[in-house]
A and B are shown apart, each in its own frame.
Chain A
Amino acid sequence: MRGGGSEFETGKSNLLPAESELELGLGLSIGGGAWRERGRILTAKDFPSVGSKRAADSSSNQGQGASPPRSSQIVGWPPIGSHRMNKVNNQAMKAAKEEEEEGKKKNEPKDVSVQGLGYVKVNMDGVGIGRKVEMRAHSSYENLAQKLEEMFFRMTGTTTSRKKVKPLRLLDGSSEFVLTYEDKEGDWMLVGDVPWRMFIASVKRLRIMGTSEANGLAPRHQDQKERQRQ
């Protein structure tokens, strides 16, 4: 159960049953159709220092002016009436809307399981054994990178070794490795473009690859454009 105390401490209500074992999550209804699977998203209540951490997150993503890759894939977002949506000459929004309409018509049974554990497999090139990392335990890209560094780059040294470990800098492209992830659609992307919360909702697997190999991946900006055109 999630660190449950926090949100129920303020003003305990005597209306609430004693064991409020509530497995609750913020459901971001991503993907067309109102009834599809929802992902679990971290909210700031999971972490002590809210504002600053999140501000730090956002600044670490070159978030400035970043186009919102997913906002057109969320049900009913942006909040524009369907009449207006139909007249708008935009492929991305139209496609998303059509998907939404389809989903509504099919009314397909939704797999309600709020995503269980947030563990994601991480593999690193050249390392045989993969690891797992709990996405929900991290508040930001920095945090995640730190953890991965600990996992993959310190295990080779002994604890008594005073050898300085080169900081990984997985996120800013200055080291010999880059961090990439596979999203829900099966595309491989460079980590760091989207807001943290959206990243957690869509990441399926992580991979640390050599920069030389990563050059095969399209640059971030183009990536998003390509995906939207689909």
Chain B
Amino acid sequence: MDLRLPSKVLEHILSFVDSNEDRNSVSLVCKSWFETERRTRKRVIVRNCYAVTPAAVARRFPEMKSLTLKGKPHFADYNLVPDGWGGYVWPWIEAMAAKCPSLEELRLKRMVVTDECLEKIAASFKDFKVLVLTSCEGFSTDGLAAIAVACRNLRELELRECIVEDIGGDWLSYFPETLTSLVSLDFSCLDSEVKLSDLERLLSRSPNLKSLKLNRAVSLDALGSLLRLAPQLVELGTGSFSDKLDQEAVAKLSQAFSELKELKSLSGLWDVLPEYIPLLYSVCPGLTSLNLSYATVQMSDLVELITRCSNLQKLWVMDLIEDKGLEVVASSCKELRELRVFPSGAGLDETNVAMTEQGLVYVSEACPNLESVLYFCVQFTNTAMVTIARNRPNLKCFRLCVMEPFAPDHKTQKPLDEGFKAIVERCKDLQRLSVSGLLTDKAFEYIGTHGKKLRMLSIAFAGDSDLMLHHLLSGCESLNKLEIRDCPFGDTALLENAAKLKTMRSLWMSSCCVSFGACKLLSQKMPKLNVEVIDEHPLETRPDSSPVERIYIYRTLAGPRLDMPEFVWTIHKNPEIGVSHLAIK
């Protein structure tokens, strides 16, 4: 008797299962569940593009509608990954074009995207709707034009912090007059000016446009007419906020802002002049997200805005806000969930810093929902961290960047071990942690002991010995991504905890003390890991004891990749072949 659930019934049930984590579990139950699940999965996420081959993914999920891919390691954001390392999306687009032509959405992060790729997307996917590129590079505005002209049903085109070869603003004019489906447009990272009339016409025929993020070249004057054409906006990224406007223009702009009844998110505000801050007052009460990280105004002006934003959940700002300003945030923004404070550079030059650890303490005291923090600060203290941990045990993400490497607690001159101990001990749901300042092995013993839910950890200029790495790899059960730079250890801990690396997505170590010999051993011992050595000097002639510049280890089903540049070496699993490029030019 066949006791299996009919696949049609199972399909129907699975249509309610959205989360990929759950779907992954479903696919492990038995072969028929695996088959049904894979045929019905619409949204595929591959968090390391080299962990699996494009062909395998295309084969497994033929009904894919949405694909998300991530390429380079996170430290590429800080120029630690040399150009040409990899992360090419072309093979993926080729594979999808052949096997999954009904693909509608592509979301890429830290990948190399060429104009050819964009043209292929435009040509291959008839119903293409969503293109979101974050921290990508390799394409020009010509590629954008190709997307604009061909994708008849385009809904989202977002370029977030991409490096684009900017040939001109013409690309915007390629959106056909028949395109009326636009919901989101973000070209904030582009430099050149788009024609205002093109933009106005586009907005006029996009009644569903909810999110618009302009680039710096869009003047304040132009902003007024754009806002009048899109009062339904929920997210707005302004252009430059610094032209000199006459009184009439200011009044009109103020009126336009007050018409934005749905606005929840505001960003841009480049070069904003203090006298224009009042223009924004009318939208403040409705805002849940405010990005002032490019607004170079002083504390008093920032505070004027913030006191009016009682519903704010997300605030990004520069350290120009000072402790006093953060005190205002604490008293005004009770709904705050995420706070990011970026360095303005002012702190580096002056010894009299007006933003210290105290600012964060204020916010942690008064904002009960605060769960995500990114804080750049010149110095910190253990007491402050202990207080913050006590106030906010619900923290999920704590990234503290004390900007001076090896800086101790500035009051006691002790390492910051105790402070981070309090954080990992109290914040039981902590998933992401970045540490900085003077730290000994003890700090990492604490993290290993208490950081059980920790998934991502970033470390720079810390620790004393191999024990540090050993504590982390043996203690942090949920560890998924570990990135380390300029720390004094490597071999022993790495080799002893080699098995741990199979349970993690990736490990990055640069300017540490990992020897070439250890890399070879590790690679031979662990067949399902790619051990990439990123180093300029030829490895064949190097002694085993020589340290390697960078090492990137990740689990993979795809074997060593074939697109490595000259400076990336993979240690061949077969010891006779030794070290190889396997580069295909």
Contacts and interface: CB of A to CB of B under 8 A. Distances in A.
Interface of A: 6-8, 10-13, 15-17, 20-29, 34-35, 38, 41, 43-45, 50-51, 54-55, 58-59, 63-68, 70-72, 74-84, 87-93, 100-101, 104, 107, 109-110, 112, 114, 195, 197-198, 221, 225, 228
Interface of A is mostly: loop
Given A7-B492, A13-B495, A198 B405 contact: yes
The 5 closest A-B pairs by CB, nearest first: A90-B345, A68-B404, A76-B78, A24-B513, A43-B488
A22 B515 contact: yes
B415 to A, nearest CB: 6
Contacts of A65: 351-353, 378-379, 410
Given A78-B343, A79-B401, A104-B82, A22 B491 contact: yes
Interface string B154-176: 00000001010000000000000
Contact of B270 (A27, A51, A87): A87
A42 to B, nearest CB: 9
B317 interface: no
Interface string B477-496: 00000000111111110011
B79 interface: yes
A50 B464 contact: yes
B45 interface: no
B525 interface: yes
Contacts of B467: 10
Contacts of B544: 17
Given A8-B492, A72-B348, A84-B342, A55 B407 contact: no
Contact of B189 (A15, A68, A83, A104): A83
A87 B295 CA distance: 10
A75 B83 CA distance: 14
A21 B403 contact: no
A7 B408 contact: no
A12 B496 CA distance: 9
Contacts of B135: 81
B2 interface: no
9 contacts: A17-B521, A51-B414, A63-B410, A65-B351, A66-B404, A68-B378, A68-B404, A76-B485, A114-B547
A197 B462 CA distance: 12
B548 to A, nearest CB: 10
A70 B93 CA distance: 43
Interface in B333-361: 342-353
Interface of B: 75, 77-80, 82-83, 135, 161, 163, 189, 270, 293-294, 296, 342-353, 376, 378-379, 401, 403-408, 410, 412-415, 438, 440, 442, 458, 460-461, 464-467, 470, 485-492, 495-496, 498, 511-513, 515, 517-518, 521, 525, 536-537, 544-547
A70 B348 CA distance: 10
A75 B461 CA distance: 12
A75 B78 CA distance: 8
Contacts of B352: 65
Contacts of B344: 88-90
A43 B468 CA distance: 13
Contacts of A75: 79-80
Contacts of B545: 20-23
A34 B464 contact: no
Contacts of A110: 536-537
A145 to B, nearest CB: 18
Nearest to A61: B413
A138 B69 CA distance: 49
A77 to B, nearest CB: 7
Given A50-B464, A77-B78, A197 B406 contact: yes
Nearest to A197: B406
A29 B511 contact: yes
Contacts of B511: 26-29, 38
Nearest to B74: A79
Most buried by B among A26, A72, A114, A221: A26
A127 to B, nearest CB: 33
Contact of B405 (A15, A50, A68): A68
A171 B270 CA distance: 46
A87 B438 CA distance: 29
A68 B407 contact: yes
A81 B401 CA distance: 14
B345 to A, nearest CB: 2
B175 to A, nearest CB: 25
B416 to A, nearest CB: 11
Contacts of A50: 440, 464
B156 to A, nearest CB: 20
Contacts of A28: 405, 461, 486, 511
A158 to B, nearest CB: 40
Nearest to A29: B511
Contact of A24 (B75, B163, B490): B490
B113 to A, nearest CB: 16
B405 A77 contact: yes
A11 B496 contact: yes
Contacts of B521: 15-17
A10 B464 contact: no
Given A38-B511, A68-B405, A26 B492 contact: no
A92 B349 contact: yes
Contact of B403 (A24, A27, A71): A71
A107 B293 CA distance: 32
A90 B489 CA distance: 34
Given A71-B403, A93-B348, A13 B408 contact: no
User: Which of A8, A15, A75 has the most chain B CB within a 10 Å cutoff?
Assistant: A15
A110 B460 CA distance: 22
A60 B377 CA distance: 22
B525 to A, nearest CB: 7
A221 B237 CA distance: 41
A78 B376 contact: yes
Contacts of B345: 88-93
B492 A16 contact: yes
